[in-house]
Amino acid sequence: MKRLADPLLWPILLFVLLLVGLPHSQGLWSALFPGLSRPVYQQESFVALALAHFWLVGISSLFAVAMGVGAGIAVTRPWGAEFRPLVETIAAVGQTFPPVAVLAIAVPAMGFGQQPALIALILYGILPVLQATLAGLGAVSPEVMSVASGMGMSRGQRLWRVELPLAAPVILAGIRTSVIINIGTAAIASTVGVSTLGTPIIIGLSGFNTAYILQGGLLVALAAIVVDRLFERLGRHLTRHVK
């Protein structure tokens, strides 16, 4: 019974059930939308779309995390502090610049496909990670750093063995925000020919097919909920470990 009450279990089960069951739910969607001749998206497998969606989000998030955490560490070191305003400004511009505009600029240079989509998602995902890294590292107590220094730790040792472990819960919160944003934003990548869970949504919009839009939207929303719950659990684990 305790396992059945797990808040992570039900979103995962519902997500998997929809992935597998949607292609076989013609009768239900026909009843909901009797005016549509094809109420269930059948051009591609929902499982394949989900895998492609998560791959796109995963790769872009890895780059965003590496760049955001790396930049946050760099500008909190004495040798990089003068670049902090510039780095924060560049990251903010990347966040506020609409992904659709990034795609519109990148497609003529790179063509349709994953490359412009990855660039848009990376730019959109850096700022939450950078801000969380700056906040987490900035919250580390000077007294703790003094103790670490008194123990003979080098700057690198203080970073990896003291600062980053203490800042990890805050950094993880920023990564969580970045990834959740990218799960939703990745749906737009279907406008440049990338297969994602946004593909039924885009086709539904162009063909005035509300059923397709709902099917894609439900799967994107559930994917975001599942990943958010996973990050919540990981955050609780890190918090207990730090304490």
pLDDT at 220 over 90: yes
Cα torsion through 41, 197, 118, 94, rounded to 10: 120
pLDDT at 242: 57
pLDDT at 4 over 80: no
Which among 112-116, 158-162, 179-183, 186-190 has the top mean pLDDT? Answer: 179-183
Average pLDDT over residues 207-212: 92
Per-residue model confidence as pLDDT tens digits over 128-184: 899 999 989 988 888 888 888 888 888 888 888 889 999 999 999 999 999 998 998
Nearest partner of 212 among 187, 236, 193, judged by Cα: 187
Give the burial class of 83: count Cβ atoms within 10 A of its Cβ; 0-12 exposed, 13-18 middle, 19 or more buried: middle
Say how far apart CA 206 and CA 105 lie, in whole Å: 22
Say how far apart CA 103 and CA 120 lie, in whole Å: 6
Average pLDDT over residues 78-101: 80
Which one is predicted more confidently, 221 or 192? 221
Contact between 22 and 155 under an 8 Å Cβ cutoff? The reply is no
Angle, helix 164-185 to helix 210-242, in steps of 10 degrees: 180
pLDDT at 133: 93
Residue with tokens 């979103």: 11
Nearest partner of 219 among 186, 243, 194, judged by Cα: 186
pLDDT at 104: 72
Count of Cβ atoms closer than 10 Å to residue 120 Cβ: 28
3 confidence band (pLDDT: 50, 70, 90): low
Q: Global pTM?
A: 0.88
Say how far apart CA 34 and CA 20 lie, in whole Å: 23
| Identity of residue 171 | I
Token representation of residue 1: 């019974």
Give, for 83, the enclosing helix (H) or strand (E): none
Nearest partner of 181 among 8, 47, 65, 18, judged by Cα: 65
Token representation of residue 133: 């890294």
Say how far apart CA 220 and CA 55 lie, in whole Å: 14
| Identity of residue 26 | Q
Domains of the chain, with CATH numbers?
9-242 (1.10.3720.10)
Say how far apart CA 168 and CA 135 lie, in whole Å: 11
